Amino acid sequence: MRCPCRKKSETIRYSACCEPRHTSEAPARSAEALMRSRYSAFVLQLAPYLLATWHASTRPSEIAFESGREWMLLKVIAAEEAGDSATVEFRAQSRLAGRTHVLHEVSRFVREDGRWYYVDGVVSP
């Protein structure tokens, strides 16, 4: 299976991309890698992984997936790391009830004890 975080034209397999993060075999080496694995976790509805990679200061108690939402495409626009802080700007395209939606976000990440965590994000209209 192609990894959900990759374009359809890319042949990178899930088992070589995000699955090792989802199964805790290999932590994300960068904030961008964590963001990609979190996108794939949304596609695959892996709530435990999403919660485990969400910083404790902003982590919700649960994740509610929207029934019928189909995630279709991820595009990373920019990724910047400065020490133990990082931002990743991305666009994610989905479809719900026959309509296409685009989520454009600049996400903030922090690294603690060698692991990256999602903190929060600013969504552009």
Write out pLDDT tens, residues 46-92: 999 999 999 999 999 999 999 999 999 999 999 999 999 999 999 99
Domain carrying residue 39: 14-124
Give domain status of residue 23, yes or no.
yes
Whole-structure pTM value: 0.95
Give domain status of residue 24, yes or no.
yes
**How far out from the chain centre does Cα 79 lie?**
13
R_g over Cα of the chain: 14
Q: How many domains does the chain have?
A: 1
| Beta strand ranges found along the chain (DSSP E) | 70-82, 85-96, 99-112, 115-124
Q: Which of 45, 53, 40 is nearest to 12 (CA)?
A: 40
Counting Cβ atoms within 10 Å, is residue 29 exposed (0-12), middle (13-18) or buried (19+)? exposed
